[in-house]
Structure 1
Amino acid sequence: MDSEKKQHSASVEGLYIGELSTIGPGNTATGIFKMPSDKTHQVGELGLNGDIQVDKRVHGGPEKAIYHYPAENYAVLQQALPHLSVSFQPGSIGENISTQGLLDTDVHIGDTFRLGSAIVQVSQPRRPCWKVNHKYGNAHIASVIMSEAISGWYYRVLETGQLRRGDSIELLDRLDNSIPVANVWQIFMQRLVKQAEHSTTSGHTTLAKIPGLSDEWRFE
């Protein structure tokens, strides 16, 4: 575990806080437009103080308190949609935290991290909604994120604390039989295919059996 802790550590290269804004032709309220912050922010059970989370059905709440998106994922988006390369920059997808060195394929559901002085746990992938597509002006963003399994992840807050840009992120614990965040998408996409084919055959792993996963993702 000590070697894993060293391997799965990073620093907060970008900290982003959302303000109330609107998006789309209906001027729907949103907090997806986030600005970089160099201030120290309190980490509470519902996220970072000052960060706006409008639609609690898809963002926010105890299981989606803080959103972490690896900076490396933007290179995948740039390769998939090169005409939007300039738009794919850290902070633009609505994340609170940007890092280098922690990937969806390495970080597991249920991993516990020290984040600044707070302690947080990976709860679920981010399921991209229509606002992501609309923000970049392209209808394919969400599907690329899901198919490439580069959604980033949410944290639940186990112990409150403080966080600012430059603080460290350190892996404290990993649950037995846990799986990477990216693997959740593989299982989810396989489930969609089976549903489309009206198949009743179950795979070796179901979302319901993944330790540490949020209840809203626990489909049989």
Structure 2
Amino acid sequence: MKIITTNIGEKRDLIWKGKPVSTGIFKFPVAQPIFLDSQDVRGDEITDREHHGGTLQAIYGYSLKHYNFFKPMYPNLEWQMGMFGENLTIDDLDETKIHQGDVFSVGEAILEATVQRNPCYKLGIRFDDIRIVKQFWNTTMCGVYFKVLQTGFVKAGDVFEQLKSCPENPTIADLYIEKRLAKGLE
């Protein structure tokens, strides 16, 4: 696997359905390397620290291949990497094959797969269509949150290499399906 783009965003204050909202979901590719720190990506805005960032959700990775699934649903959207709020767009990140606890080396950093990303209404804001949240829930294309075991710089083109596999643990897709069932979304 390899990094296609690294993405960061700034805080945006906007009105959504008549209410003020602050969000950092508008992430865009950057040309310079980004620093993966222990709690987040340095310079990337996280407005909701209860659900994003922190030790277990420091870095969010999403697969480029998943874009092809969603693009036909939104043909008039101006597509670009970072659309799903990910810090790392990875060529082929497969949640059905990555287990909780798997460890990866990328650039100067070492990352551990921790949990799935559960979508919220802010994904609807990014797509300007709340339907994306349900469509996202109805897949296993949730992306992967990572814990940073070793901080460091990462850039587009870096190889995303697996160092350790934990097949005894649930996959990220399994965790996502479990969460979806717990929320009664089946």
With structure 1 as the length reference, what TM-score do the two structures score? 0.76
* 1:68 and 2:61 correspond: yes
Task: Encode CA deviations 1:70-118: one digit per residue, 9 max, x unaligned.
Answer: 0111222234x2445x345421121111121222222222111012111
Which residue number corresponds to residue 142 of structure 1? 133
For residue 45 of structure 1, what is the aligned residue in structure 2?
A: 38
SS of the residue 2:19 aligns to: coil
Structure with higher helix content: 1
1:21 aligns with 2:12: yes
The one-letter amino acid of 2:34's match is H
Query: What SS does structure 2 have at the residue aligned with 1:62?
Result: coil
Structure 2 contact 99–167 (Cα < 8 Å) conserved: no
Q: Alignment partner of 1:73: what SS?
A: helix
Q: Normalising by structure 2, what TM-score?
A: 0.89
Aligned residues: 184
Residue in 2 that maps onto 1:93: 84
Equivalent of 2:26, from 26, 33, 37?
33
CA offsets 1:29-73 (integer angstroms, 9 cap, x no match): 111111211112222101221111111011111111111010111
Q: Select the structure of larger CA radius of gyration.
A: 1
- Cα contact 1:74–1:89 (8 A) shared by 2: no
* % identity of equivalent residues: 27
User: What is residue 201 of structure 1 aligned with on the other side?
Assistant: none
The answer for the alignment partner of 2:122 in structure 1 is 131
Structure with higher strand content: 2
Whichever residue aligns with residue 12 of structure 1, its letter is: I
Q: What root-mean-square deviation, in Å, do the aligned CA atoms of Structure 1 and Structure 2 show? A: 2.0
Higher RCO (CA-CA < 8 Å; seq separation 6+): 2
Residues 51/186 of structure 1: CA separation in 2 closer, same or farther (3 Å cut): same
| Structure 2 alignment gaps of length 5 or more | none
Show the counterpart of 1:168.
159
Quick check: 1:12 aligned with 2:26?
no
Unpaired runs of at least 5, structure 1:
1-9, 197-220
| 1:126 Cα deviation from its structure 2 partner | 0.7
- Once residues 148 and 87 of structure 1 are traced to their aligned partners in structure 2, the CA distance between those partners, rounded to angstroms, is 22
